[in-house]
Amino acid sequence: MSKKQSLKEILSVRELEICDPISKGLSNDEIAKQLHISEGTVKNHITDIFGKTGARNRAEIAVRYALEYGQSDTEIVDQPELGKTEFPDFFIDARLRLVGFNGLPGLNGLPDTILLRLQGRPFIIGRYDVRVGHKQQDFEFPKETKAVSRRHASIERTARGYLITDLDSKVGTFINGTRITPGERYLIQTGDRVSFGSAGADYIFED
């Protein structure tokens, strides 16, 4: 089987230049201004990129470019055309769906869904730290969610399945109501209730 060609091998220098801002979520107009070319030229180049790579949309271009050029998850997924909470399926390994207070999703500002993009490494869940002023973990609850620790728990996918670890959080991590021992990995399966503390950040795990 022949080796898959890299973007550098199949795209022109200009097309590679356009892939970079695509991976960062820039619009055609923004790309045109950045590269000092017309928006129509940008559209033509993107059409050529689709044809050469077989990509079906901008997100797929972003993924491939990021994998080959080492960009971060945030640069890949924070794209306007995907929306704030919508991600391509190939990003998502599993998810946590909010149960929340009295089973009412979205109450008290908690996110309805936590999308888990594991990509071969633990996915860290925590809370935004205003003292640092920028994102540190893979997913962060709003700074107002005081019950969740700044570095609370991690989830990873292994040959055994999905494993969750409490990262020595102050208020604990619970599986189906039972607090788990910090530092130890526990198997979670579809339908399990995962709680970060005991103040309502309760989620159902879905594979």
117-149: pLDDT as tens digits: 776 788 999 988 878 777 888 888 888 887 889
pLDDT given at position 64: 84
Residue 1: inside a domain: no
Strands 139-141 and 123-127: parallel
Q: What is residue 93's predicted lDDT score, i.e. its pLDDT?
A: 67
User: pTM surpassing 0.85?
Assistant: no
**Do 99 and 76 lie in a common domain?**
no
Q: Which of 188, 93, 180 is closest to 139 using CA atoms? A: 93
Q: What percent of the chain has pLDDT over 90?
A: 37
Q: In this structure, are 73 and 109 located in the same domain?
A: no
CA gap 64, 54 in Å, rounded: 11
Give the CATH number of the domain where residue 43 resides: 1.10.10.10
Question: Distance of CA 160 to CAs 78, 129, 140, 185, 192, Å?
Answer: 31, 33, 26, 11, 16
For residue 160, the domain's CATH number is 2.60.200.20
- Enclosing domain of residue 32: 7-82
